[in-house]
Chains A and B, each alone.
Chain A
Amino acid sequence: MRGFNTVVVIGSGDIACKCIKILADHHDNVVCIEHEKGYLSMMKSICQKYNCRYKAITEQEQLLEYFNKITVKTLIVSANNNYIFPEAVLDKQNLSVINFHNALLPHHGGRNAPTWAIFQMDETTGITWHEVTPKVDAGDIIIQRGIVIAQDMTALELARKCMEVGAEAFQEIIPKLLAENYTARVQLPAKEMGFHYSGDIPNAGIMDISWSTERISAFLRSLDYGKIRILPRPRVVLLDKCYVIERYHIIRTGKQDLARVIVNKYRAFICSQGLSITLDLKGWGE
């Protein structure tokens, strides 16, 4: 069970913290690297609590230097991590790198996968742990778990669920990973794989008032990470004026009322197909 001299966790947020806790039970030499520190970061305190070494390395060059200096056999666990491993690191024979992705690869590779799963009105999504290769999110799949997307789930809620399920899957596979006794399977091309870059935003962030209420609901929820501003606030053009949607409320009435849209100065109300959606608006640039 001790094939690796060291295990390095690189990443941030809940999934990285959960991986640290799990690893602390399985290995006595765990190092944690925080590359991007958030204002709610708990990684340092989790490391202290579970006797793991903690390093904050924010500069890419320093990170590359750190990985280049590793000479012992090391498992690198990338969890909620935006650092892209250069080929020079991945080519090192003593390093094995795995990554957590919050979708069922090869679907929704790249950034903000929960956003795209909701916007595209997928019924299910999931998580993938995979080997890291120079091509982002394209390595062989170690384990996947599916998640049903609930009817009114926001991107934040789905992201939380992905982290929870991702940690459970990690707990399941870690003994085999550490023993190097697992089988990974090649990613097969799917019909609609979709790779999303960080600058990609559903419909460029603009809500189309002619969409169905289900589509509008999916659009609003797909951009909703609560207080975390991962994506810009959604906008809508009404009567030739652009507004920022500051808040929204979706109620499933179940009533098949006549479709209608009511707009007053800073509030819009859309109702059809058993859904009523209220938008609190602010003039663009006001």
Chain B
Amino acid sequence: MKRLVEILQEIRPEFDFTAADNFVEKEMLNSLDIIALISTLEEEYGISIDGADIVPENFNGLEAIKTLVEKSGGTI
């Protein structure tokens, strides 16, 4: 999870992603942040995230993102 938190903080350095959940509802991630996050996750974990999985709910917390990466064939 440490690397995942680092990736999120590279995108939005002003937030502490370890101390929060509901990233989308709390406006810690907006739609373009999510697109940037997807590019980094795909590169970092050598995966391709299916378009159907690109919905706000899958980026709403560390566990949700981890589940998405694993569903896409990556390991965190």
Contacts and interface: CB of A to CB of B under 8 A. Distances in A.
B30 A14 contact: yes
Given A156-B36, A156-B39, A227-B38, 14 more contacts: A13-B30, A14-B30, A14-B32, A40-B31, A40-B34, A40-B54, A41-B31, A42-B24, A157-B36, A160-B36, A226-B38, A227-B39, A227-B42, A227-B54
Interface in B29-76: 30-36, 38-39, 42, 49, 51, 54-56
B16 interface: no
B12 to A, nearest CB: 10
B56 to A, nearest CB: 6
Contact of B56 (A13, A42, A156, A157): A42
A124 interface: no
A189 interface: no
**Interface magnitude class on chain A:** 10 to 19
Contacts of A42: 24, 30-31, 56
A163 interface: yes
Interface in A4-43: 13-14, 17, 38-42
Main SS of chain B's interface residues? Answer: helix
Interface of A: 13-14, 17, 38-42, 45-46, 156-157, 159-160, 163, 225-228
A227 B35 CA distance: 6
**Interface magnitude class on chain B:** 10 to 19
B33 A160 contact: yes
A32 to B, nearest CB: 15
A10 B66 CA distance: 35
B21 to A, nearest CB: 16
B49 A227 contact: yes
Q: Which of A42, A45, A160, A227 has the most CB of B within 10 A?
A: A227
A40 B53 CA distance: 10
B25 interface: yes
A174 B39 CA distance: 34
B56 A40 contact: yes
B54 A13 contact: no
24 contacts: A14-B30, A14-B32, A17-B30, A39-B51, A39-B55, A40-B31, A40-B34, A40-B55, A42-B24, A42-B30, A42-B56, A45-B25, A46-B27, A156-B32, A156-B35, A157-B36, A159-B32, A160-B33, A226-B38, A226-B39, A227-B38, A227-B39, A227-B42, A227-B51
A153 B9 CA distance: 18
A14 B30 CA distance: 6
Closest 5 CB pairs of A and B: A40-B31, A226-B39, A14-B30, A226-B35, A160-B32
A227 B53 CA distance: 12
A225 B35 contact: yes
A13 B31 CA distance: 7
Contacts of A39: 51, 54-55
A286 to B, nearest CB: 17
Contacts of B38: 226-227
A40 B25 CA distance: 12
Contacts of B25: 45
Contacts of A157: 36
